[in-house]
Amino acid sequence: MKKTVKSLIAVIFAAVFLITLLPFAFAEEINETTQDPGTSTVEFDENKFGDINEDGKRTAGDARLLLRCAVELEIITDHILIHGDYDKDSQITSGDARVALRVAVGLESVFCILKGHEIMPAVIEPTCTTEGYTTNKCSRCSFADGSKTDILPVKEHELQNSTTQATCTEDGIFTSECSVCGHIAQRDIVEASLGHSFGIWEISGAIKSKTCKRCGFTEESDKIKTVYLTFDDGPGPYTEKLLGYLREYNVKATFFVTNQMPRYRYLLSQIVNDGHAIGVHSLTHQWSIYSSSNSYLNDFNAMHQIILDETGVDTKIFRFPGGTNNTVSRSYSRGIMSSMSKSMLEWGYNYYDWNVDCYDTAGYSSSRIAQATINQIKGRNTSIVLMHDIKNTTVEAVKEIIRFGLDNGYEFAAIDESTPLVRFSPVN
């Protein structure tokens, strides 16, 4: 019995001894079949690096699996050490797993990880803004030791000039740009954007539209009924009050101005600053301006220059004193209205008459002026209303006219090139 027990114990010790030696023998077999001749066995300690599991403990399975993918091993042992990041205590960290992952997807060289870098000098070419230099880099991966020698000077920019033409909505730009690195050496506005050049509003059903004659952009509005309030003969003593009323209702209007009362000339700039249109009526508003073409033009040009000096606006719109169909001009020069209306159009100016008269020159009260105007704009899609801002009764009638228009779907606008042309035929 004693001999049997002793024999059993001996067998157990022998088995334990063999099991202990088995991994080392297996490791030698792996090293012989997977490593290049002449290399030594490398060791792997799975407790020193790897990912951190949810319990805060390190694991090595992921790192080992990634490394096996990287070096194409069918089997990986517990005795392979991969070189990666080290922490401040020189301990291998989970950064090794990241290195192994980069290897697995081909971003780094497996040879550098297992055998070290192959350092060679590399020339970094200078750019337009950064010096070039020679540095030590690995020929197999992206490692560089940070050294910089043989500094090469910065190259000069290779500048190319180009100019874009102004469009309706964008300025024309001169640009001097490097063709190598894109550096902008100079960028200047050489021509301001042109702005849309709209044709006249066209009405189709419940929509009106206008199209830019240059770029084809189309603007639409469901406000097909438009009132253009136009004021002649000012500025005068009631013009500032009128501007306040228009501002109160956010309504834009058109002023055909004179210099009959020079002390109110300062209001020209206020008219423009408030967003209203401004045009020439006359310097003097004397009928004698129709004595000749030169007489009319001298009067027109003098008023045009005052507007330009006071507001900076080179206006292209005007209204003949008395309208294009006035007969008073006959007493001064036969055919003057026919010839001047044609010539002014040829010189780039547009004149506007009216299709609604508020009758403020007939001595009407404010309420009667308002009612006469409202009666005429009813049923019209486009109303150009003749009014005079040198009359207090007219200015006081404006609020009632505006309230009616806004309550009944009318749009109030200043005259511009999209305004439908309302012109009388000359009778002289």
Q: How far apart are CA 214 and CA 72, in angstroms?
A: 68
pLDDT score of 376 more than 60: yes
Task: Report the share of the chain in percent with pLDDT over 70.
Answer: 73
Residue 324 near residue 352, CB atoms below 8 Å: no
* pLDDT reported for residue 116: 73
Please give the pLDDT value at position 97.
53
Nearest CA-CA partner of 110 in 146, 79, 82, 132: 82
Provide the pLDDT confidence category of residue 58 given band limits of 50, 70 and 90. Answer: very low
Average pLDDT over residues 52-76: 49
Inter-residue contact 288 to 332 (CB < 8 Å): yes
Tell me if 259 sits within 8 A of 409, measured CB to CB. no
Better pLDDT: 4 or 375: 375
Collapsing DSSP to helix, strand or coil, 368 comes out as helix
Q: Which residue has the higher pLDDT, 79 or 249?
A: 249
Name the least confident of 24-28, 100-104, 141-145, 282-286: 24-28
Instruction: Give the Cα separation of 131 and 127 in Å (integer).
Output: 7
Find the helix or strand (DSSP H, E) in which 282 lies.
strand 277-282
Distance (Å, rounded) from C-alpha 183 to C-alpha 205? 53
Q: Is residue 32 pLDDT above 50, yes or no?
A: no
**H helix or E strand, kind and range, residue 69:** helix 61-71
Residue bearing the bigger pLDDT, 355 or 70 = 355
- The span from the CA of 112 to the CA of 95, in Å, is 16
How high is the pLDDT of residue 402? 98
pLDDT confidence of 10, banded at 50, 70, 90? very low
Q: In what helix (H) or strand (E) does residue 257 lie, and over which residues does it extend?
A: strand 254-258
Contact 194, 167 (CB under 8 A): yes
pLDDT for the residue numbered 140? 78
The predicted structure's pLDDT at residue 144: 84
Confidence at 143, pLDDT banded by 50, 70, 90: confident
Q: Which residues of 4-37 are buried (b: 16+ CB within 10 A; e: fewer)?
A: eeeeeeeeeeeeeeeeeeeeeeebeebbeebeee
Confidence of residue 42 (pLDDT cuts 50, 70, 90): very low
* Cα-to-chain-centroid distance, residue 406: 34
Residues 288-312 have a mean pLDDT of 97
Question: Which segments of the chain belong to CATH 3.20.20.370?
Answer: 202-412
Confidence label for 308 from pLDDT (cuts 50, 70 and 90): very high
Kindly list the distances between the CA atom of residue 181 and the CA atoms of 127, 129, 173, in Å, as whole numbers in the listed order. Answer: 8, 8, 20
Strand order in the sheet with 159-164: 159-164, 172-178, 184-191
> Which of 77-81, 87-91, 411-415 has the highest average model confidence (pLDDT)?
411-415
Q: Is 275 helix (H, G, I), strand (E, B) or coil?
A: coil
Q: How far apart are CA 282 and CA 299, in angstroms?
A: 6
pLDDT band at residue 317 using 50, 70 and 90 as cut-offs: very high
C-alpha distances (whole Å) from 117 to each of 44, 108, 113, 136, 310 are: 20, 11, 8, 11, 78
pLDDT tier, 79 (very low <50, low <70, confident <90, very high otherwise): very low
Q: Let me know: does 238 contact 389? Beta carbons within 8 Å.
A: yes
348 φψ region: left (φ > 0), alpha (ψ -120 to 50), beta (else): left
- Say which CATH superfamily domain 202-412 falls into: Glycoside hydrolase/deacetylase (3.20.20.370)
- Pick from 422, 423, 351, 419: which is nearest to 200 by CA? 419
pLDDT category of residue 187 using cuts at 50, 70 and 90: very high
Structure tokens at 325: 């169909």
